[in-house]
Each structure stands twice: as structure tokens, then as C-alpha cells.
Amino acid sequence: MADSSSASPRAVVPAHEDRPVYVVGGGPGGLAAAYALRARGVRAVVLEKSDRVGASWRRHYDRLHLHTTRRLSALPGLPMPRSFGRWVSRDNVVRYLEKYAEHHQLEIVTGVEVSRIDPAPDGTGWLLHATGGRELTGSAVVVATGYNHTPRVPDWPGRDAFTGELLHAGEYRDAKPYAGRDVLVVGTGNTGAEIAVDLAEGGASRVRLSVRTAPHILRRSTAGWATQYTGVLVRRLPVGLVDRLARPVARLSVPDLSAYGLPRPGTGLYSRVKDGSIPVQDVGLIDAVRKGRVEVVAAVEGFEGGKVVLADDSRIEPDAVIAATGYVRALEGLVGHLGVLDARGRPVVHGARTPGTAPGLYFTGFTNPISGMLRELAIDAQKIAKAVARQAERTRAAG
């Protein structure tokens, strides 16, 4: 893995440009963007706050495998090895990212966290304020700090006085510490669903899954056809049409779990995706719920000492609560002052588009597409690189 502040011998600095493009974040989105820029002759420098690339992937729970296929999860310029299998494990994703940085000899500076991005004083490019008082000036910036940036735990009433164990899902690794214990998992995204199954299979004495809004549940693959393939095919169709098409498919492929506390959602699948809620890919949840190994309970409303208060006014007393309650992008301090975020803190544009008020500022990895995050990161990287190179050519022609 390239892990140095020195320029890579393969880096190409165009004669018309002495400022690199800075890529903030050394995850898959940042690495893909850096490679795509380099492939177009643009020097790209990745700034990563941790000491290694793929930091967020290293923190995921041990059981994790991609829900997208190996072939549609590779980044530009390097296929994933066939030995990784169809559904790539977390450890192999990390290995792939390390190999990707090394193979392409990407220019990566680790241990540098960017805290704020401002327009450069001379009116061209961007000024990055970073660790140790550094001030770095780039011709353009690609923000790729990640969808799962900062863990979010709701400020439940009584949370701080809870006498049991409370942790965010980002701290969960495996079921061993919970063998023989009563555990409540809060949240029915893919992370909550998988952790609940992992706990049930790993020896927890009781596993309950707290549900506020019933999720759409899909088979990861049916008769060899990966659900991701369907996501790719329908992603540009009208939302209402996809919602209508998805209903009969769900009824045929997924049993009705209403009797177990998981009714079919009243809102359409793609409508929920557009609102930021990705369907749960079944990797054992359906079976665990039907066999009673995972019990579905109401949403958490608060805590009373060692008890958890649920929305149906019942109280339970688990030994541990694992909050699979998501993450926030945490972009406000970095770029919030530039007027480039919406009311929910998400970039107003992504990919090759830049905000009208902030030309040369790009964002990648802040959507959660139905067609697969890694696939879209790879596509965005190529589009961003093309846009940056085109702008560089215009600047050179004008000069």
C-alpha cells in the first residue's frame, strides 16, 4: 500500500497546473477517484485521517459480506480476485483496497485530517485546513469521507442512566462477548438485521430486534439472480413504476412475517430507497424470525434504570443494547459554511456535478443507491475525473 507523503513516480503533473487535486478520504470512493484522475494525467493526492486506507471497512463487524456481487463491486482499473467468491467478505474488501492503492501507486498521505475547506485566497482552487496547522491549496477537491462517518445514537430519555451495556453497532465485532446473554438490537437496516442473526447463531440466550418502521426485505439472490442485477436494471425507471413491480415480486419471494411483528411495508420499495432507506438483504433474518431465534419488538422510546421502555409501553430488561441506528455524514464543519449541503446535511450534488456556488468541489459516496454503493462509486470516479480533466483543458486553453 502506498503510505507516504512523497509523490508517486507515476504521478503526472500537467504543465499548466502546479496544484494537485486533493481527495479527502482513503476509502473506496477516494481511492477510485484518485486512480481515475491519475489515469487522465491529473495529479491526485489522497488525504486520509487514519494510518491506513479503508479505515471504516476495518471497523465493521466480522460477519460482514458485501450484498453486491464481486464483479459489480470492483473499482476502476483492478478486478476483484475470483478467489474472493461471489459475496466478498469484509477482510477481503480491506485486502482489495490495500492492493488497489499499491497496484496503482496512488499518492496517499495518512494521518492527515482535513477540518475545513475554503476557497483559495487568490480566487482559484481550494484551501484545505488540516492536521498540525497545515494549509494545502488544490486546484479541485473531491470529498469522499464516507457514508458511514460518525456513529449516531439517539438521545433517548434516560439513556445516560441505563445500567446495562449500551453500544453502537460500529463497536460490535462478533457474538462471543454476548454468549448466554439477553441482547436487544435496535434498528432494522442491514446492519441491525445481520447483527441480530449473528447473535442468535453465536449463542446469545435471547435476541430481540426493535423495529420502528418495518423494512422491505429482499432475498440477496434468487435462483442465481442477484438482487443487485435488478437494482441496476430499474434504477432509472420511474419510482412509482418500480414500487408497483416490486410488490408482487416480494410476495412471491419473501414470506409474510406479519404474525412475527414484521408486516409488509405500506410504502413502496423504491420510494423508501429514494428517501434513504435501503431494503434489508436477507442473510438469515427471515429464518431466524420464523423460528423464534430473533424476536421482533416495538421501537425504543427511552430507558428507566436498567429497563428499556418500548413504544407499546412495555418494558424489557436486556443485558446489552446494540444501537444499529446508523451514521451521520458529519460534513457541516468541513463544508457547511459553503452552502453545499441540504437540510439533512447531505451534499446537494454528487459525482461529476459541482455546486454552482462552489465550482471544483466534488462529492462521492454520499448516496446509498439501489444498484450498489461500490458500483456507483466506480462510475462516479470516472465521471469526476473526466470533468476535472475537461476543466483543466479549458483553463490551459484560456491561459
**What is the pLDDT of the chain when averaged over all its residues?**
92
- Order of strands, edge to edge, in the sheet holding 107-110? 107-110, 44-48, 21-24, 140-143, 361-363
- Could you tell me the pLDDT band of residue 11, with boundaries at 50, 70 and 90? very low
CATH 3.50.50.60 range(s) for the chain read: 21-149+329-398, 153-323
Residue 250's identity, in one-letter code, is A
Angle at 339 between CA 355 and CA 360, to 5 degrees: 30
**What topology is assigned to 21-149+329-398 in CATH?**
FAD/NAD(P)-binding domain (3.50.50)
**What topology is assigned to 153-323 in CATH?**
FAD/NAD(P)-binding domain (3.50.50)
- Please state the pTM of the whole predicted model: 0.90
pLDDT of residue 223: 85
- Could you tell me the pLDDT band of residue 14, with boundaries at 50, 70 and 90? very low
Lowest mean pLDDT among 12-21, 133-142, 251-260, 352-361: 12-21
Lowest mean pLDDT among 15-24, 195-204, 225-234, 278-287: 15-24
pLDDT of residue 392: 86
Helix axes 28-39 and 373-398, enclosed angle (nearest 10): 40
